[in-house]
């Protein structure tokens, strides 16, 4: 247990990423305001990206711009996680834009951003029977 805790302290960046991720996840699930859900989503994705970027770090490594060949003296960090984070960021931006467009339309139509309220409206209205 103590060894595990020590390792967690050593992996402090990952622990921070997990904390960020959990905050975003809680926001996404707890918050009733649709706009804040979108913000939570972004925080959560930042956590994932931090986690992923950490995995590429090598102590003492430089950014992988190969001005000089890799050798004993010059070590570069792993470029794969950087590329994956880049992909993830593009996906996350697109998703945020889509969610915000949905939010705008919902507000224009129902004048509320409270999701519980929206779901209630929906389940009550279904009794009307019209398609």
Partner 1 sequence: MAKSDSPFRCWLRGELDLSAQLQTAEMPAPPEGERYEPRHHPALIRMIARQSHRLYVALVAVLCAVLFTVLLLTAANLPAYGDGEAPTNNEVSERYVNQGVEETGALNAVAGMMLDYRAFNTLGESFVPFAALCAVTVLMTRGRRKHPLPPEADYADYYADPIVHTMCKVIIPVILVFGTYVLVNGHLSPGGGFSGGAILSSALIIYAMVWGDQRAHGAIREKTVRRTMALAMGFYVVSKTCSFYMGANGMPNPISAGVPGRIFSAGLILPLNVAVGLAVCCTMYSFYMFFRRGAL
Partner 2 sequence: MSVVQNFPMFSIVLGLLCAIACFAAPRAWGRRITLALLLLSGVMQGCVLWYCYVNQASYRYQLGHYPAPWGSELTAGLLEPGMGLLFSVVMLLSVIGGGRHVGHDVADGKQHLYWVAVDLTLAALLAMCYTDDIFTAYVFIEICTIAACALLAVREGGRNLIASVRYMVFALIGSSLFLIGVVFTYAVTGQLLFPQLRQAVAALWEAGTYRFAMTVAIALMTAGLAVKSGCFPFHGWLPDAHSQATTASSCILSGVIVKGYAVLLIKIICRGLGAQVFMATGAQNVLLLLGLGGMVWCSIDAIFAKRLKVMIAFSSAAQIGYIFMGIGMGTAAGLTAAVLQMVSHAITKPMLFLAGSQLSDASHGRMDFPSLRGAGHRNVPAGILFTVGALSMVGVPLLAGFVPKLYFAREAFALGWQRWPVLLGLAASTVLNVLYFLYTAVLIWLPQEADCRFKPVKPHWDEYLPGFIFAGLNVAMGIHPGPLAALIDRAVALLGR
8 binds partner 1 (CB under 8 A): yes
Which positions from 37 through 66 interact with partner 1, judged by CB under 8 A?
51, 54-59, 61, 63-66
Q: Which is nearer to partner 2, 59 or 73 (CB)?
A: 59
120 binds partner 1 (CB under 8 A): yes
27 binds partner 2 (CB under 8 A): no
The whole-angstrom separation of Cα 8 and Cα 20 is 15
129 binds partner 1 (CB under 8 A): no
CA distances from residue 73 to 70, 76, 77 in whole angstroms, order as listed: 8, 10, 13
User: Rounded to 5 degrees, what are φ and ψ at 33?
Assistant: -85, 125
The whole-angstrom separation of Cα 123 and Cα 38 is 23
Q: Which of 47, 4, 3 is nearest to 24 (CA)?
A: 47
Q: Which is nearer to partner 2, 1 or 73 (CB)?
A: 1
- Tell me 8's DSSP state: H
122 binds partner 1 (CB under 8 A): no
Residue with tokens 């949905």: 102
Binding site for partner 2 (CB under 8 A): 21, 25, 28-29, 34, 37, 41, 44-45, 48, 51-52, 55, 80-81, 84, 87-88, 91, 94-95, 98-99, 102-103, 105-106, 109-110, 115, 118-119, 121-122, 125-127, 129-131
């Amino acid at each position: 247990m103590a060894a595990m805790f020590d390792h967690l302290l050593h992996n402090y960046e990952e622990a921070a990423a997990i904390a960020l991720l959990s905050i975003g996840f809680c926001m996404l699930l707890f918050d009733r305001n649709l706009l804040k859900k979108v913000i939570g989503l972004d925080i959560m994705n930042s956590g994932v990206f931090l986690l992923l970027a950490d995995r590429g770090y090598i102590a003492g490594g430089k950014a992988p711009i190969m001005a000089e060949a890799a050798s004993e003296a010059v070590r570069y960090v792993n470029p794969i996680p950087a590329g994956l984070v880049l992909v993830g960021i593009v996906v996350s931006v697109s998703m945020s834009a889509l969610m915000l467009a949905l939010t705008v339309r919902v507000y224009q139509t129902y004048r509320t951003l409270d999701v519980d309220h929206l779901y209630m409206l929906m389940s009550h209205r279904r009794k009307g029977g019209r398609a």
